[in-house]
Amino acid sequence: MISQLCSAGTLGIEAFLIEVETHVDNQMFTFNIVGLPDNAVKESRERIMAAIKNSGLSMPNKKYTVNLAPADVRKEGSAFDLPIALGILSATDQIPSDALDKTLVLGELALDGTLRPARGVLPITIMAKCSELTQILLPQANADEAALVEGVKVIAVESLGQAVRFLSGKEEIKPFDVDRLALFKANSGTILNLTDVKGQENVKRAFEVAAAGGHNLIMVGPPGAGKTMIAKRLPSILPPMTFDEALETTKIHSVAGTLPENTPLLTDRQFRSPHHTISDAALVGGGMGIARPGEISLAHHGVLFLDELPEFARNVLEVLRQPLEDNKITISRTKLSLTFPCNFMLVASMNPCPCGNFGNPNASCNCSPVQIQRYMSKVSGPLLDRIDIHIEVAAVKYQELSSERRGETSESVRERVVKAREVQAERFTGREDVFKNADMGSKDIRKYCKLESDGQDLLKMAMSRLGLSARAYDKILKVARTIADLAGQESIQPEHLSEAIQYRSLDRQFWNA
C-alpha cells in the first residue's frame, strides 16, 4: 500500500514542496527513509515509532519505505516527523487516504506524541498558498506565524493523536486565525531614547542624517565617550517598518530559528551586535550543510553594529564589501547557490589608537605613530570607502554629564527622518531597486545630486586635499542629498555639501599619517 502527502523544506529564505511517499510491504520489519535525508531526518525513525505507539496507534510488523521527493535535494531538520508518521498511518488504513488532499503537513514529534515547533513556517505557508494547497497542518506553537498568510486554512494541533482524530473526522478543529493588523500595530518599540545621551550634539546630528538616508556610519573616539550608547538608540529614530518589511524580516528569522517565542511577526527594526570573535560564515551566512542566514541577514531592514571594528579579523571585515554594495549575499556551494537579503545599516565604532586616548585632552596617549598607523590600517581603505559617514566622538565634559538639561527625544528626531524618507519615496516612485538615498547608483547620483558652480568648486577642493576616491565622491553627494532633504531643499546647497565633506574624517591625511 502507498500513501502520498505534502510537506516542505527551505532553501535560503524560500520554501520548496516535498512529497512524502510511504510504501508498506508484507515483509520482515524494516523502516527506511530515502530521498537524501540528513542525520536529523534519519533519526526520526525512532521518534516516529515511539510517538505512534505512545499515541495508542499501531505500527504493524511490515516493511516501511519512505521517500522524500525530489530525491536530489538534501532534506534537513526534524519537521518531517509528523508528515512521515501520518504517511505511515494512512498507508496502514488508520486514517482515510483522502484526508490529506490539498494539505501541507510539518512538525517535530516528541516520544510521547506531542508536537514541537518547526522552523521556517512563514515562508513555507507562503509557498503553500502559491502551490494552491488549501490548508496546513502544524504544531500549535507555529499557528500564529502561519496565520499571517491569508488564503490558507491553518489547522493547529498539539499532538499526533489529535491530528489523527481530526483527519478521521472524530474531532473538529476550527482554522486558526489572527488579527494581522493588530499584530503589526503591536509594535513593542524600544525603551532606549536619544534624550538619554548627554552632549554629543554633532554625533546625534550625524545619526539623524544616517537614519534619514539609510547611510552607513563609523564613529571614532576614546573609550567611554558614548559610542555604543548612541548606536543602540539608532533604531528608535529610524522610520517604522512597513508590513512587507516586517514579513521579509520575519521570514529570515523564522528560517534561522531566531524568532522570539510568542512573537509571530517582527515589527521592530532589528539591532544586531555580534562579538568581534565572530567567524566570516557566522557574519555573512553559511555553515555546514545547507547554509543559514548570517548576522547581516538577521539585521535586514535594521542595524548591524560592529563595536571595536579593528578587533574583528581582517578576513571577516573584507567579506562585508560585496553585501554593502549589493544589499544581498550569495553563498555558493558545490551543488547549489543561496541568496539571502541583507539590506542593513552598518554602524561601527573604533578607538583612535590602541590605548584609545589619542586626541583625548583628558588623558595621555603612549602609542607611537607606527602603532597608531598599524592599528588604523586594520580597517582597509576599500571598506571605509563603503561607509558614508565618518564621525569623531569626543569625550563628554563634566558640565554636560552633570547637567539636568535633557536633549531632543527620539520621537521628534524620527519625525524629521520620516519626512525626509517620504521625500525620497516620492523621488524614487516606481523603482524596485532604490528606496532611499543610500541605494542610489551612479545614474541616480547624476540625476538627483547636481551641483551649482560654487558647490563643484568646493567638492573639487575637498577631493584634491583629502585624496578621496571615486566611491568617496559618490558617498559625499549621497549624504549631501540627504542633508538637503532634511532641510526641505530641492537642490544641494554649499552648506549641505560642506557638512557632508566633514563626515569623511577618516579620509584625512591626519588619520593616514
Three-class secondary structure assignment of 214-269? CCCEEEECCCCCCHHHHHHCHHHCCCCCCHHHHHHHHHHHHHHCCCCCCCCCCCCC
Average pLDDT, stretch 372-398? 86
In this prediction, residue 428 carries a pLDDT of 92
Which residues touch 468 (CB under 8 Å, ≥6 apart)? 462, 476, 504, 507
Last residue of a domain, one of 147, 178, 209: 178
Last residue of a domain, one of 178, 210, 239: 178
Please indicate, yes or no, whether residues 206 and 174 belong to a single structural domain of this protein.
no
CATH code where residue 475 lies = 3.40.50.300
Task: Return the residue matching grid coordinates 515562508.
Answer: 123
Q: How far apart are the first and last CA of the chain?
A: 78
Please indicate, yes or no, whether residues 115 and 229 belong to a single structural domain of this protein.
no
| Per-residue model confidence as pLDDT tens digits over 70-83 | 988 888 889 999 99
Instruction: Identify which of 352, 256, 335 has the alpha carbon closest to the alpha carbon of residue 299.
Output: 256
Is 449 part of any domain?
yes
Q: Is the model's pTM score more than 0.85?
A: yes
Please indicate, yes or no, whether residues 330 and 208 belong to a single structural domain of this protein.
yes
Please indicate, yes or no, whether residues 459 and 360 belong to a single structural domain of this protein.
yes
Q: Are strands 14-25 and 2-11 parallel, antiparallel or unpaired?
A: antiparallel
Please indicate, yes or no, whether residues 292 and 441 belong to a single structural domain of this protein.
yes
Instruction: Identify which of 374, 357, 230, 237 has the alpha carbon closest to the alpha carbon of residue 310.
Output: 374
Last residue of a domain, one of 130, 148, 178: 178
| Per-residue model confidence as pLDDT tens digits over 55-109 | 999 999 999 999 999 988 888 889 999 999 999 999 999 999 889 999 999 999 9
In this prediction, residue 289 carries a pLDDT of 66
Is 48 part of any domain?
yes
> Which residues constitute the domain of residue 174?
2-178
Instruction: Identify which of 52, 45, 1 has the alpha carbon closest to the alpha carbon of residue 25.
Output: 1
Tell me the CA distances in angstroms from 221 to 228, 237, 321, 383, 510, one per residue in order: 11, 22, 24, 19, 15
Burial of 39 (0-12, 13-18, 19+ CB in 10 A): exposed
Is the pLDDT at 199 greater than 90? The verdict is no
Please indicate, yes or no, whether residues 223 and 137 belong to a single structural domain of this protein.
no
Please indicate, yes or no, whether residues 427 and 318 belong to a single structural domain of this protein.
yes
Please indicate, yes or no, whether residues 97 and 56 belong to a single structural domain of this protein.
yes
In this prediction, residue 507 carries a pLDDT of 67
Average pLDDT, stretch 313-336? 87
Q: Which three cell numbers stand for residue 144?
A: 500564529
Instruction: Identify which of 252, 257, 196 has the alpha carbon closest to the alpha carbon of residue 228.
Output: 196
Please indicate, yes or no, whether residues 24 and 107 belong to a single structural domain of this protein.
yes
Q: Which three cell numbers stand for residue 354?
A: 590602541
C-alpha 359/C-alpha 413 separation (Å) is 30
C-alpha 372/C-alpha 479 separation (Å) is 28
Is 183 part of any domain?
no
The most confident of the ranges 187-196, 205-214, 423-432, 463-472 is 205-214
In this prediction, residue 461 carries a pLDDT of 87
Tell me the CA distances in angstroms from 226 to 114, 217, 221, 355, 400, one per residue in order: 49, 15, 9, 17, 13
Average pLDDT, stretch 406-434? 91
Is 184 part of any domain?
no
Is the pLDDT at 397 greater than 90? The verdict is no
Average pLDDT, stretch 15-23? 95
Is 187 part of any domain?
no
Position 23: which residue type? Answer: H
In this prediction, residue 513 carries a pLDDT of 41
Please indicate, yes or no, whether residues 143 and 218 belong to a single structural domain of this protein.
no
Please indicate, yes or no, whether residues 142 and 216 belong to a single structural domain of this protein.
no
Instruction: Identify which of 113, 120, 114 has the alpha carbon closest to the alpha carbon of residue 104.
Output: 120
Average pLDDT, stretch 30-41? 91
Please indicate, yes or no, whether residues 198 and 155 belong to a single structural domain of this protein.
no
Instruction: Identify which of 155, 148, 157 has the alpha carbon closest to the alpha carbon of residue 174.
Output: 155
Which residues touch 267 (CB under 8 Å, ≥6 apart)? 183, 184, 185, 186, 187, 188, 240, 241, 246
C-alpha 119/C-alpha 107 separation (Å) is 9
Q: What's the domain count of the chain?
A: 2
In this prediction, residue 25 carries a pLDDT of 93
Position 247: which residue type? Answer: L
In this prediction, residue 187 carries a pLDDT of 60
Position 361: which residue type? Answer: P
Is 351 part of any domain?
yes
Is 41 part of any domain?
yes
Average pLDDT along the chain = 90
Is 216 part of any domain?
yes
CATH code where residue 142 lies = 3.30.230.10
